[in-house]
Amino acid sequence: MWLMSAYASTGLAARLSGVFTGNMASLSVGELQEMEVDRRGESEESGDDETRRKSINGDVDPNQPTATTKEESPVDMDTITLDPEEEDVDLVHCRIGKIEGLEVLQKAKTLSLRQNLIKKIENLDSLSALRELDFYDNQIRKLENLHNLTELEQLDVSFNVLRKVEGLEQLTRLKKLFLLHNKISSIANLEHLSGLEMLELGSNRIRVIENLDSLTSLQSLFLGTNKITRLQNLDALHNLTVLSIQSNRITKIEGLQNLINLKELYLSHNGVEVIEGLENNKKLTTLDIAANRVKKIENISHLTELQEFWMNDNQIDNWSDLDELKNATSLETVYLERNPLQKDPQYRRKIMLALPSVRQIDATFIRF
Protein backbone atom coordinates (compact mmCIF):
# COMPACT_ATOMS: atom_id res chain seq x y z
CA MET A 1 0.00 0.00 0.00
CA TRP A 2 1.14 3.53 -0.71
CA LEU A 3 2.20 5.11 2.56
CA MET A 4 -0.23 7.98 2.99
CA SER A 5 1.25 9.67 6.06
CA ALA A 6 2.53 12.54 3.97
CA TYR A 7 -0.99 13.29 2.82
CA ALA A 8 -2.80 12.74 6.10
CA SER A 9 -3.05 16.34 7.25
CA THR A 10 -6.02 17.61 5.29
CA GLY A 11 -6.93 20.11 8.03
CA LEU A 12 -4.18 22.67 7.64
CA ALA A 13 -5.35 25.25 10.13
CA ALA A 14 -3.64 23.61 13.10
CA ARG A 15 -0.63 22.35 11.21
CA LEU A 16 0.79 25.28 9.30
CA SER A 17 2.52 28.22 10.89
CA GLY A 18 5.76 30.19 10.97
CA VAL A 19 8.80 28.11 11.51
CA PHE A 20 12.09 29.67 10.54
CA THR A 21 15.72 28.79 10.05
CA GLY A 22 17.45 29.62 13.28
CA ASN A 23 14.08 30.12 14.96
CA MET A 24 12.58 26.65 15.17
CA ALA A 25 11.28 25.76 18.57
CA SER A 26 12.81 22.50 19.74
CA LEU A 27 11.71 20.13 22.44
CA SER A 28 13.55 20.85 25.67
CA VAL A 29 14.73 17.63 27.30
CA GLY A 30 16.13 19.26 30.40
CA GLU A 31 13.03 21.23 31.43
CA LEU A 32 10.54 18.80 32.92
CA GLN A 33 8.01 21.46 33.82
CA GLU A 34 7.91 23.31 30.52
CA MET A 35 7.02 21.99 27.11
CA GLU A 36 8.18 23.48 23.87
CA VAL A 37 6.51 23.01 20.54
CA ASP A 38 7.52 23.66 16.97
CA ARG A 39 5.45 24.73 14.03
CA ARG A 40 5.71 24.29 10.29
CA GLY A 41 5.19 26.99 7.77
CA GLU A 42 4.39 25.32 4.54
CA SER A 43 2.36 22.59 2.95
CA GLU A 44 2.88 19.37 4.88
CA GLU A 45 1.15 17.22 2.31
CA SER A 46 4.13 16.80 0.00
CA GLY A 47 7.26 15.00 1.04
CA ASP A 48 8.35 12.65 3.79
CA ASP A 49 8.85 13.50 7.46
CA GLU A 50 12.61 13.85 7.22
CA THR A 51 12.43 16.28 4.33
CA ARG A 52 9.79 18.35 6.10
CA ARG A 53 12.02 18.66 9.14
CA LYS A 54 14.69 20.19 6.91
CA SER A 55 12.27 22.18 4.81
CA ILE A 56 10.49 25.34 5.78
CA ASN A 57 8.20 26.49 3.01
CA GLY A 58 10.28 24.52 0.58
CA ASP A 59 13.45 26.06 1.97
CA VAL A 60 15.71 23.04 1.67
CA ASP A 61 19.46 23.40 1.71
CA PRO A 62 20.49 22.86 -1.92
CA ASN A 63 23.79 21.43 -0.74
CA GLN A 64 22.05 18.62 1.08
CA PRO A 65 21.26 15.50 -0.96
CA THR A 66 17.65 14.40 -1.25
CA ALA A 67 16.60 10.98 -0.11
CA THR A 68 17.46 9.32 -3.41
CA THR A 69 21.07 8.62 -4.21
CA LYS A 70 21.33 9.77 -7.81
CA GLU A 71 24.43 7.69 -8.49
CA GLU A 72 22.46 4.48 -8.14
CA SER A 73 22.08 2.33 -11.20
CA PRO A 74 18.50 1.89 -12.39
CA VAL A 75 16.93 -1.55 -12.20
CA ASP A 76 15.13 -3.43 -14.93
CA MET A 77 11.36 -3.20 -14.46
CA ASP A 78 11.16 -6.95 -15.19
CA THR A 79 12.63 -7.57 -11.75
CA ILE A 80 9.71 -5.81 -10.01
CA THR A 81 6.59 -7.85 -9.29
CA LEU A 82 3.31 -6.04 -9.93
CA ASP A 83 -0.10 -7.11 -8.67
CA PRO A 84 -2.83 -6.48 -11.27
CA GLU A 85 -5.46 -6.39 -8.51
CA GLU A 86 -3.74 -3.74 -6.43
CA GLU A 87 -5.42 -0.33 -6.19
CA ASP A 88 -2.70 1.42 -4.17
CA VAL A 89 0.65 0.78 -5.78
CA ASP A 90 3.81 1.68 -3.90
CA LEU A 91 7.05 1.67 -5.91
CA VAL A 92 9.06 3.95 -3.65
CA HIS A 93 12.86 3.90 -3.88
CA CYS A 94 12.99 0.97 -6.26
CA ARG A 95 15.73 2.51 -8.43
CA ILE A 96 13.36 2.68 -11.38
CA GLY A 97 14.99 4.54 -14.27
CA LYS A 98 12.27 4.23 -16.89
CA ILE A 99 8.51 3.88 -16.58
CA GLU A 100 7.48 0.74 -18.44
CA GLY A 101 5.49 -2.43 -17.96
CA LEU A 102 2.83 -0.81 -15.79
CA GLU A 103 -0.03 -1.64 -18.17
CA VAL A 104 -1.11 -4.49 -15.88
CA LEU A 105 -2.13 -2.00 -13.19
CA GLN A 106 -5.56 -1.36 -14.66
CA LYS A 107 -7.21 -1.15 -11.23
CA ALA A 108 -4.67 1.21 -9.72
CA LYS A 109 -6.13 4.32 -8.08
CA THR A 110 -2.91 5.58 -6.52
CA LEU A 111 0.62 5.15 -7.85
CA SER A 112 3.68 6.25 -5.93
CA LEU A 113 6.97 6.39 -7.83
CA ARG A 114 8.77 8.69 -5.42
CA GLN A 115 12.51 8.53 -4.81
CA ASN A 116 13.45 6.79 -8.01
CA LEU A 117 15.69 7.67 -10.96
CA ILE A 118 12.96 8.57 -13.44
CA LYS A 119 13.83 11.24 -16.00
CA LYS A 120 10.75 11.17 -18.18
CA ILE A 121 7.01 10.78 -17.61
CA GLU A 122 5.88 8.18 -20.14
CA ASN A 123 3.94 4.95 -20.74
CA LEU A 124 1.07 5.79 -18.38
CA ASP A 125 -1.69 6.14 -20.97
CA SER A 126 -3.41 2.89 -19.99
CA LEU A 127 -3.74 3.86 -16.32
CA SER A 128 -6.81 5.98 -16.88
CA ALA A 129 -8.32 5.12 -13.48
CA LEU A 130 -5.54 6.81 -11.51
CA ARG A 131 -6.64 9.34 -8.91
CA GLU A 132 -3.26 10.09 -7.33
CA LEU A 133 0.19 10.08 -8.91
CA ASP A 134 3.42 10.76 -7.04
CA PHE A 135 6.82 11.48 -8.65
CA TYR A 136 8.37 13.19 -5.61
CA ASP A 137 12.20 13.15 -5.74
CA ASN A 138 13.14 11.98 -9.21
CA GLN A 139 14.98 13.61 -12.12
CA ILE A 140 12.01 14.67 -14.26
CA ARG A 141 12.62 17.65 -16.52
CA LYS A 142 9.22 18.09 -18.15
CA LEU A 143 5.53 17.64 -17.36
CA GLU A 144 4.34 15.56 -20.30
CA ASN A 145 2.33 12.53 -21.40
CA LEU A 146 -0.35 13.00 -18.77
CA HIS A 147 -3.25 13.75 -21.11
CA ASN A 148 -4.95 10.35 -20.69
CA LEU A 149 -5.05 10.56 -16.89
CA THR A 150 -8.25 12.57 -16.87
CA GLU A 151 -9.44 11.17 -13.50
CA LEU A 152 -6.33 12.40 -11.70
CA GLU A 153 -7.09 14.43 -8.57
CA GLN A 154 -3.65 14.71 -7.00
CA LEU A 155 -0.26 15.11 -8.68
CA ASP A 156 3.07 15.51 -6.92
CA VAL A 157 6.20 16.25 -8.96
CA SER A 158 8.11 17.98 -6.17
CA PHE A 159 11.91 17.78 -5.92
CA ASN A 160 12.58 17.34 -9.61
CA VAL A 161 14.13 19.65 -12.21
CA LEU A 162 11.06 21.12 -13.90
CA ARG A 163 11.47 24.54 -15.49
CA LYS A 164 7.88 25.11 -16.63
CA VAL A 165 4.32 24.34 -15.64
CA GLU A 166 2.88 22.65 -18.73
CA GLY A 167 1.09 19.59 -20.05
CA LEU A 168 -1.78 19.70 -17.56
CA GLU A 169 -4.55 20.87 -19.87
CA GLN A 170 -6.53 17.61 -19.73
CA LEU A 171 -6.33 17.19 -15.96
CA THR A 172 -9.51 19.14 -15.28
CA ARG A 173 -10.36 17.07 -12.18
CA LEU A 174 -7.11 17.93 -10.46
CA LYS A 175 -7.58 19.19 -6.88
CA LYS A 176 -4.05 19.17 -5.48
CA LEU A 177 -0.87 20.02 -7.37
CA PHE A 178 2.55 19.88 -5.70
CA LEU A 179 5.53 21.29 -7.60
CA LEU A 180 7.74 22.13 -4.64
CA HIS A 181 11.48 22.61 -5.13
CA ASN A 182 11.94 22.69 -8.87
CA LYS A 183 13.33 25.39 -11.19
CA ILE A 184 10.04 26.93 -12.26
CA SER A 185 10.36 30.62 -13.11
CA SER A 186 6.73 31.59 -13.74
CA ILE A 187 3.16 30.66 -12.86
CA ALA A 188 1.51 29.68 -16.14
CA ASN A 189 -0.69 27.18 -17.98
CA LEU A 190 -3.08 26.55 -15.10
CA GLU A 191 -6.20 28.10 -16.62
CA HIS A 192 -7.88 24.73 -17.23
CA LEU A 193 -7.61 23.65 -13.60
CA SER A 194 -10.67 25.49 -12.32
CA GLY A 195 -11.29 22.82 -9.67
CA LEU A 196 -7.83 23.07 -8.13
CA GLU A 197 -7.99 23.47 -4.34
CA MET A 198 -4.32 23.36 -3.37
CA LEU A 199 -1.30 24.67 -5.26
CA GLU A 200 2.22 24.23 -3.90
CA LEU A 201 4.96 26.12 -5.77
CA GLY A 202 7.39 26.72 -2.92
CA SER A 203 11.13 26.84 -3.43
CA ASN A 204 11.22 27.70 -7.12
CA ARG A 205 12.37 30.78 -9.05
CA ILE A 206 9.07 32.64 -9.34
CA ARG A 207 9.22 36.45 -9.35
CA VAL A 208 5.61 37.44 -10.04
CA ILE A 209 2.24 36.22 -8.77
CA GLU A 210 0.21 35.92 -11.97
CA ASN A 211 -2.19 33.85 -14.07
CA LEU A 212 -4.33 32.65 -11.16
CA ASP A 213 -7.65 34.24 -12.13
CA SER A 214 -9.23 30.98 -13.28
CA LEU A 215 -8.43 29.14 -10.05
CA THR A 216 -11.58 30.26 -8.28
CA SER A 217 -11.80 27.05 -6.21
CA LEU A 218 -8.31 27.46 -4.78
CA GLN A 219 -8.22 27.18 -0.99
CA SER A 220 -4.50 26.93 -0.25
CA LEU A 221 -1.65 28.65 -2.08
CA PHE A 222 1.99 28.09 -1.12
CA LEU A 223 4.65 30.29 -2.71
CA GLY A 224 7.37 30.32 -0.07
CA THR A 225 11.06 30.65 -0.88
CA ASN A 226 10.79 32.28 -4.28
CA LYS A 227 11.80 35.75 -5.47
CA ILE A 228 8.42 37.48 -5.30
CA THR A 229 8.53 41.22 -4.62
CA ARG A 230 4.83 42.11 -4.54
CA LEU A 231 1.49 40.73 -3.39
CA GLN A 232 -0.71 41.11 -6.45
CA ASN A 233 -3.15 39.40 -8.83
CA LEU A 234 -4.97 37.55 -6.05
CA ASP A 235 -8.37 39.22 -6.43
CA ALA A 236 -10.12 36.23 -8.02
CA LEU A 237 -9.22 33.83 -5.22
CA HIS A 238 -12.35 34.42 -3.12
CA ASN A 239 -12.21 30.94 -1.57
CA LEU A 240 -8.60 31.13 -0.45
CA THR A 241 -8.18 30.27 3.24
CA VAL A 242 -4.40 29.72 3.41
CA LEU A 243 -1.76 31.95 1.80
CA SER A 244 1.90 31.26 2.48
CA ILE A 245 4.49 33.53 0.93
CA GLN A 246 7.33 33.26 3.42
CA SER A 247 10.96 33.88 2.52
CA ASN A 248 10.39 36.15 -0.46
CA ARG A 249 11.08 39.85 -1.07
CA ILE A 250 7.76 41.38 0.00
CA THR A 251 8.04 44.87 1.51
CA LYS A 252 4.35 45.85 1.70
CA ILE A 253 1.18 44.03 2.75
CA GLU A 254 -1.28 44.78 -0.04
CA GLY A 255 -3.56 43.17 -2.61
CA LEU A 256 -5.46 41.06 -0.07
CA GLN A 257 -8.70 43.04 0.03
CA ASN A 258 -10.72 40.44 -1.90
CA LEU A 259 -9.54 37.50 0.19
CA ILE A 260 -12.39 37.79 2.65
CA ASN A 261 -12.24 34.08 3.59
CA LEU A 262 -8.54 34.07 4.38
CA LYS A 263 -7.83 32.34 7.70
CA GLU A 264 -4.06 31.83 7.66
CA LEU A 265 -1.49 34.29 6.34
CA TYR A 266 2.24 33.51 6.45
CA LEU A 267 4.59 36.37 5.60
CA SER A 268 7.67 35.61 7.68
CA HIS A 269 11.17 36.31 6.39
CA ASN A 270 10.34 39.20 4.10
CA GLY A 271 11.02 42.94 4.32
CA VAL A 272 7.67 44.18 5.65
CA GLU A 273 7.93 47.37 7.72
CA VAL A 274 4.29 48.20 8.47
CA ILE A 275 1.30 46.01 9.36
CA GLU A 276 -1.42 47.22 7.01
CA GLY A 277 -3.80 46.15 4.26
CA LEU A 278 -5.71 43.60 6.35
CA GLU A 279 -8.96 45.55 6.74
CA ASN A 280 -11.07 42.96 4.88
CA ASN A 281 -9.38 39.85 6.25
CA LYS A 282 -11.53 39.62 9.37
CA LYS A 283 -11.56 35.81 9.42
CA LEU A 284 -7.82 35.50 10.05
CA THR A 285 -7.02 32.99 12.78
CA THR A 286 -3.26 32.84 12.15
CA LEU A 287 -1.08 35.82 11.27
CA ASP A 288 2.64 35.25 10.81
CA ILE A 289 4.80 38.34 10.20
CA ALA A 290 7.90 37.05 11.98
CA ALA A 291 11.39 38.00 10.88
CA ASN A 292 10.51 41.24 9.12
CA ARG A 293 11.25 44.90 9.94
CA VAL A 294 8.10 45.83 11.82
CA LYS A 295 8.48 48.43 14.59
CA LYS A 296 4.88 48.65 15.75
CA ILE A 297 1.90 46.30 16.19
CA GLU A 298 -0.95 48.19 14.58
CA ASN A 299 -4.01 47.98 12.34
CA ILE A 300 -5.12 44.54 13.55
CA SER A 301 -7.57 45.37 16.38
CA HIS A 302 -10.40 44.23 14.08
CA LEU A 303 -8.98 40.69 13.80
CA THR A 304 -11.15 39.34 16.58
CA GLU A 305 -10.86 35.68 15.50
CA LEU A 306 -7.08 35.61 15.77
CA GLN A 307 -5.74 32.52 17.55
CA GLU A 308 -2.04 32.63 16.65
CA PHE A 309 0.12 35.72 16.24
CA TRP A 310 3.75 35.40 15.16
CA MET A 311 5.77 38.61 15.50
CA ASN A 312 9.16 37.34 16.69
CA ASP A 313 12.38 38.72 15.21
CA ASN A 314 11.08 42.22 14.58
CA GLN A 315 11.65 45.57 16.27
CA ILE A 316 8.72 45.84 18.70
CA ASP A 317 9.72 47.90 21.77
CA ASN A 318 6.48 49.29 23.22
CA TRP A 319 4.30 47.23 25.56
CA SER A 320 1.23 49.30 24.70
CA ASP A 321 1.27 47.72 21.25
CA LEU A 322 -0.28 44.60 22.76
CA ASP A 323 -3.53 46.54 23.11
CA GLU A 324 -4.06 45.82 19.41
CA LEU A 325 -4.62 42.17 20.34
CA LYS A 326 -7.07 42.61 23.20
CA ASN A 327 -10.13 42.12 20.99
CA ALA A 328 -8.87 38.69 19.96
CA THR A 329 -10.44 36.85 22.87
CA SER A 330 -9.51 33.43 21.44
CA LEU A 331 -5.83 34.26 21.07
CA GLU A 332 -3.80 31.31 22.36
CA THR A 333 -0.29 31.62 20.90
CA VAL A 334 1.95 34.67 20.73
CA TYR A 335 5.53 34.78 19.52
CA LEU A 336 7.43 37.96 20.44
CA GLU A 337 10.91 36.65 21.18
CA ARG A 338 13.92 38.45 19.75
CA ASN A 339 12.18 41.80 19.86
CA PRO A 340 13.45 44.59 22.16
CA LEU A 341 10.51 43.75 24.43
CA GLN A 342 12.14 40.48 25.40
CA LYS A 343 14.88 42.31 27.28
CA ASP A 344 12.33 43.21 29.95
CA PRO A 345 12.83 40.91 32.99
CA GLN A 346 9.05 40.71 33.30
CA TYR A 347 8.62 39.80 29.64
CA ARG A 348 6.45 36.70 30.06
CA ARG A 349 4.48 38.11 32.98
CA LYS A 350 3.58 41.27 31.09
CA ILE A 351 2.34 39.29 28.10
CA MET A 352 0.19 37.13 30.38
CA LEU A 353 -1.32 40.19 32.06
CA ALA A 354 -1.98 42.00 28.78
CA LEU A 355 -3.37 38.93 26.97
CA PRO A 356 -5.00 36.62 29.54
CA SER A 357 -6.34 34.16 26.96
CA VAL A 358 -2.84 33.24 25.75
CA ARG A 359 -1.71 29.71 26.56
CA GLN A 360 1.64 29.72 24.77
CA ILE A 361 4.31 32.41 24.72
CA ASP A 362 6.98 31.76 22.13
CA ALA A 363 7.85 28.07 22.22
CA THR A 364 6.75 27.46 25.79
CA PHE A 365 3.32 26.70 27.19
CA ILE A 366 2.15 28.73 30.14
CA ARG A 367 2.00 26.76 33.39
CA PHE A 368 -0.99 27.37 35.64
pLDDT digits 0-9 by tens, 256-272: 999 999 999 999 999 99
- Judged against a pLDDT cut of 90, whether residue 31 lies above it is answered with no
User: Using 50, 70 and 90 to split pLDDT, how confident is the model at 43?
Assistant: low
Greater model confidence, 101 or 51: 101
Distance CA 54, CA 19 (A): 11
Q: What are the pLDDT digits (tens) for 278-312?
A: 999 999 999 999 999 999 999 999 999 999 999 99
User: Using 50, 70 and 90 to split pLDDT, how confident is the model at 40?
Assistant: very low
- Judged against a pLDDT cut of 50, whether residue 9 lies above it is answered with no
Distance CA 31, CA 34 (A): 6
pLDDT average, residue stretch 198-221 = 98
pLDDT at residue 326, as a whole number: 97
Going by DSSP bridges, is the β-strand pair 286-288/264-266 parallel, antiparallel, or unpaired? Answer: parallel
Own/partner pairs, 34-41, CB within 8 angstroms, 24+ separation: 34/364, 34/365, 34/367, 35/364, 35/365, 36/363, 36/364, 37/360, 37/363, 37/365, 38/363, 40/15, 40/16, 41/16, 41/17, 41/224, 41/244, 41/246, 41/266, 41/268, 41/288
Sequence-ordered list of residues with C-beta below 8 angstroms from that of 41, at least 6 positions apart, any chain: 16, 17, 18, 19, 20, 56, 57, 224, 244, 246, 266, 268, 288
Percent of the chain with pLDDT over 70: 81
Greater model confidence, 365 or 75: 365
pLDDT at residue 92, as a whole number: 94
**CB-CB contact of 24 with 35 (8 Å):** no
Percent of the chain with pLDDT over 90: 77
pLDDT average, residue stretch 329-351 = 97
Distance CA 317, CA 183 (A): 40
Domains of the chain, each with CATH number or no CATH:
84-160 (3.80.10.10)
pLDDT average, residue stretch 35-57 = 44
User: Using 50, 70 and 90 to split pLDDT, how confident is the model at 17?
Assistant: very low
**CB-CB contact of 307 with 286 (8 Å):** yes
pLDDT at residue 10, as a whole number: 32
Greater model confidence, 331 or 55: 331
Q: What are the pLDDT digits (tens) for 57-108?
A: 444 444 444 444 446 788 878 788 899 999 999 999 999 999 999 999 999 9
User: Using 50, 70 and 90 to split pLDDT, how confident is the model at 192?
Assistant: very high
pLDDT average, residue stretch 146-175 = 97
